Structure 1
Amino acid sequence: MGVNPFVWLVVQLIDLVLLAVFVSFVLSLLMQFGIVNRYHPLVSRINNVLDRVLDPIFSRVRGLIPAIAGIDFSPLIVIFGLQFLQRAIIFYIA
Protein backbone atom coordinates (compact mmCIF):
# COMPACT_ATOMS: atom_id res chain seq x y z
CA MET A 1 0.00 0.00 0.00
CA GLY A 2 1.40 3.38 -0.99
CA VAL A 3 1.59 6.65 0.84
CA ASN A 4 -1.06 9.29 0.33
CA PRO A 5 0.32 11.74 -2.29
CA PHE A 6 -0.60 14.76 -0.18
CA VAL A 7 1.25 13.35 2.82
CA TRP A 8 4.24 12.67 0.59
CA LEU A 9 4.13 16.25 -0.72
CA VAL A 10 3.97 17.74 2.79
CA VAL A 11 6.88 15.56 3.94
CA GLN A 12 8.92 16.62 0.90
CA LEU A 13 8.18 20.30 1.57
CA ILE A 14 9.33 19.88 5.17
CA ASP A 15 12.52 18.24 3.85
CA LEU A 16 13.05 21.23 1.55
CA VAL A 17 12.69 23.69 4.43
CA LEU A 18 15.07 21.59 6.54
CA LEU A 19 17.61 21.70 3.71
CA ALA A 20 17.22 25.48 3.46
CA VAL A 21 17.78 25.86 7.22
CA PHE A 22 20.92 23.73 7.01
CA VAL A 23 22.30 25.64 4.01
CA SER A 24 21.56 28.94 5.75
CA PHE A 25 23.37 27.77 8.88
CA VAL A 26 26.45 26.55 6.99
CA LEU A 27 26.57 29.68 4.82
CA SER A 28 26.37 31.95 7.85
CA LEU A 29 29.23 30.04 9.51
CA LEU A 30 31.35 30.27 6.38
CA MET A 31 30.70 34.01 6.16
CA GLN A 32 31.44 34.54 9.87
CA PHE A 33 34.81 32.83 9.62
CA GLY A 34 35.73 34.66 6.41
CA ILE A 35 35.89 31.52 4.29
CA VAL A 36 33.23 32.86 1.93
CA ASN A 37 33.11 36.51 0.89
CA ARG A 38 29.70 37.81 1.93
CA TYR A 39 29.93 40.58 -0.70
CA HIS A 40 30.29 38.19 -3.64
CA PRO A 41 27.16 38.61 -5.79
CA LEU A 42 26.20 34.92 -5.80
CA VAL A 43 26.74 34.47 -2.07
CA SER A 44 24.85 37.68 -1.35
CA ARG A 45 21.95 36.60 -3.55
CA ILE A 46 21.72 33.14 -1.96
CA ASN A 47 21.90 34.64 1.52
CA ASN A 48 19.16 37.18 0.71
CA VAL A 49 16.84 34.49 -0.67
CA LEU A 50 17.39 32.25 2.35
CA ASP A 51 16.82 35.18 4.72
CA ARG A 52 13.56 36.11 3.00
CA VAL A 53 12.29 32.55 3.10
CA LEU A 54 13.43 31.58 6.59
CA ASP A 55 13.21 34.86 8.52
CA PRO A 56 9.43 34.63 9.09
CA ILE A 57 9.94 31.21 10.68
CA PHE A 58 12.98 32.24 12.70
CA SER A 59 11.41 35.49 13.90
CA ARG A 60 8.49 33.62 15.49
CA VAL A 61 10.88 31.34 17.33
CA ARG A 62 13.06 34.31 18.35
CA GLY A 63 9.95 35.91 19.84
CA LEU A 64 9.51 32.88 22.10
CA ILE A 65 13.16 32.17 22.88
CA PRO A 66 15.61 35.07 22.61
CA ALA A 67 19.31 34.66 21.90
CA ILE A 68 21.26 33.35 24.88
CA ALA A 69 24.75 34.85 25.35
CA GLY A 70 24.62 36.14 21.78
CA ILE A 71 23.87 32.71 20.31
CA ASP A 72 20.71 32.37 18.25
CA PHE A 73 19.16 28.95 18.82
CA SER A 74 16.19 29.51 16.50
CA PRO A 75 17.57 27.37 13.61
CA LEU A 76 18.12 24.46 15.99
CA ILE A 77 14.63 24.78 17.43
CA VAL A 78 13.13 25.03 13.93
CA ILE A 79 14.99 21.88 12.87
CA PHE A 80 13.74 19.95 15.91
CA GLY A 81 10.20 21.22 15.41
CA LEU A 82 10.10 20.37 11.71
CA GLN A 83 11.54 16.90 12.27
CA PHE A 84 8.99 16.26 15.03
CA LEU A 85 6.18 17.45 12.74
CA GLN A 86 7.45 15.31 9.88
CA ARG A 87 7.67 12.17 12.01
CA ALA A 88 4.24 12.83 13.55
CA ILE A 89 2.70 13.18 10.08
CA ILE A 90 4.31 9.96 8.91
CA PHE A 91 3.35 8.05 12.07
CA TYR A 92 -0.26 9.21 12.41
CA ILE A 93 -1.35 9.87 8.84
CA ALA A 94 0.76 7.77 6.48
Structure 2
Amino acid sequence: MLSLFQILLLILDIVWFFIIAHVIMSWLINFQVLNLQQQLVGQIWYMLQRILEPLYDPVRRILPNMSGIDLAPLVVLIAVYALRIIIQNNMVYFL
Protein backbone atom coordinates (compact mmCIF):
# COMPACT_ATOMS: atom_id res chain seq x y z
CA MET A 1 0.00 0.00 0.00
CA LEU A 2 2.90 2.31 0.74
CA SER A 3 4.11 1.91 -2.84
CA LEU A 4 0.77 3.14 -4.20
CA PHE A 5 0.98 6.27 -2.08
CA GLN A 6 4.53 6.90 -3.24
CA ILE A 7 3.49 6.51 -6.87
CA LEU A 8 0.61 8.94 -6.30
CA LEU A 9 3.00 11.43 -4.71
CA LEU A 10 5.34 11.04 -7.69
CA ILE A 11 2.47 11.80 -10.10
CA LEU A 12 1.56 14.89 -8.07
CA ASP A 13 5.20 16.02 -8.21
CA ILE A 14 5.23 15.62 -11.99
CA VAL A 15 2.00 17.62 -12.31
CA TRP A 16 3.53 20.30 -10.06
CA PHE A 17 6.59 20.47 -12.36
CA PHE A 18 4.45 20.68 -15.51
CA ILE A 19 2.38 23.54 -14.07
CA ILE A 20 5.48 25.51 -13.04
CA ALA A 21 7.05 24.93 -16.48
CA HIS A 22 3.80 26.01 -18.18
CA VAL A 23 3.58 29.23 -16.15
CA ILE A 24 7.23 30.14 -16.79
CA MET A 25 6.88 29.37 -20.50
CA SER A 26 3.73 31.51 -20.75
CA TRP A 27 5.60 34.45 -19.21
CA LEU A 28 8.53 33.99 -21.57
CA ILE A 29 6.20 33.76 -24.56
CA ASN A 30 4.26 36.88 -23.49
CA PHE A 31 7.50 38.86 -23.03
CA GLN A 32 8.67 37.60 -26.44
CA VAL A 33 11.70 35.79 -25.09
CA LEU A 34 10.43 32.55 -26.60
CA ASN A 35 8.81 32.27 -30.01
CA LEU A 36 6.13 29.68 -30.73
CA GLN A 37 7.30 29.58 -34.36
CA GLN A 38 10.39 27.68 -33.21
CA GLN A 39 9.61 24.00 -33.59
CA LEU A 40 10.87 22.78 -30.20
CA VAL A 41 9.24 25.61 -28.26
CA GLY A 42 5.95 25.08 -30.07
CA GLN A 43 5.95 21.35 -29.44
CA ILE A 44 6.70 21.75 -25.74
CA TRP A 45 4.05 24.47 -25.39
CA TYR A 46 1.32 22.47 -27.12
CA MET A 47 2.22 19.33 -25.14
CA LEU A 48 1.88 21.24 -21.87
CA GLN A 49 -1.39 22.76 -23.08
CA ARG A 50 -2.83 19.31 -23.89
CA ILE A 51 -1.76 17.92 -20.53
CA LEU A 52 -2.89 20.82 -18.34
CA GLU A 53 -6.03 22.15 -20.01
CA PRO A 54 -8.22 19.35 -18.60
CA LEU A 55 -7.09 20.49 -15.14
CA TYR A 56 -7.53 24.19 -15.82
CA ASP A 57 -10.94 24.13 -17.55
CA PRO A 58 -13.10 23.19 -14.54
CA VAL A 59 -11.30 25.79 -12.42
CA ARG A 60 -11.79 28.49 -15.07
CA ARG A 61 -15.53 27.77 -15.14
CA ILE A 62 -15.73 28.41 -11.39
CA LEU A 63 -13.46 31.46 -11.17
CA PRO A 64 -14.83 34.87 -12.19
CA ASN A 65 -13.45 36.57 -15.29
CA MET A 66 -10.42 38.62 -14.21
CA SER A 67 -9.91 40.36 -17.60
CA GLY A 68 -6.63 38.83 -18.68
CA ILE A 69 -5.36 37.38 -15.41
CA ASP A 70 -5.55 33.60 -15.32
CA LEU A 71 -5.59 32.28 -11.77
CA ALA A 72 -6.38 28.69 -12.76
CA PRO A 73 -2.73 27.54 -12.55
CA LEU A 74 -2.45 28.99 -9.04
CA VAL A 75 -5.63 27.25 -7.89
CA VAL A 76 -4.51 23.94 -9.39
CA LEU A 77 -1.07 24.31 -7.76
CA ILE A 78 -2.71 24.87 -4.38
CA ALA A 79 -4.96 21.85 -4.94
CA VAL A 80 -1.99 19.63 -5.88
CA TYR A 81 -0.09 20.78 -2.81
CA ALA A 82 -3.13 20.19 -0.59
CA LEU A 83 -3.56 16.67 -1.99
CA ARG A 84 0.09 16.00 -1.33
CA ILE A 85 -0.27 17.10 2.30
CA ILE A 86 -3.41 15.00 2.77
CA ILE A 87 -1.74 11.89 1.33
CA GLN A 88 1.42 12.34 3.37
CA ASN A 89 -0.47 12.87 6.61
CA ASN A 90 -2.73 9.84 6.07
CA MET A 91 -0.14 7.37 4.77
CA VAL A 92 0.58 6.21 8.31
CA TYR A 93 -2.94 4.87 8.76
CA PHE A 94 -2.58 2.47 5.82
CA LEU A 95 0.68 0.83 6.85
1:60 partnered with 2:58: yes
Count of residues in correspondence between the two structures: 92
The whole-number CA distance in structure 2 between the counterparts of 1:66 and 1:82 is 21
Query: Any conservation in 2 of the 1:66–1:72 contact (CA below 8 Å)?
Result: no
The whole-number CA distance in structure 2 between the counterparts of 1:90 and 1:66 is 32
The whole-number CA distance in structure 1 between the counterparts of 2:71 and 2:56 is 9
Deviation at 1:12, TM superposition (A): 0.4
Structure 2 unaligned segments of length 5 or more: list them.
Answer: none
Structure number with higher helix proportion: 2
1:93 aligned counterpart, secondary structure: helix
Structure 1 unaligned segments of length 5 or more: list them.
Answer: none
- Write the letter of the residue equivalent to 2:82: F
TM-score, normalized by length of structure 2? Answer: 0.92
Query: Any conservation in 2 of the 1:37–1:43 contact (CA below 8 Å)?
Result: yes
- Percent identical across equivalent pairs? 26
Q: Which is further off, 82-91 or 65-74?
A: 65-74
> RMSD of the alignment, in Å?
1.2
TM-score, normalized by length of structure 1? Answer: 0.93
Number of the residue aligned with 2:70 = 72
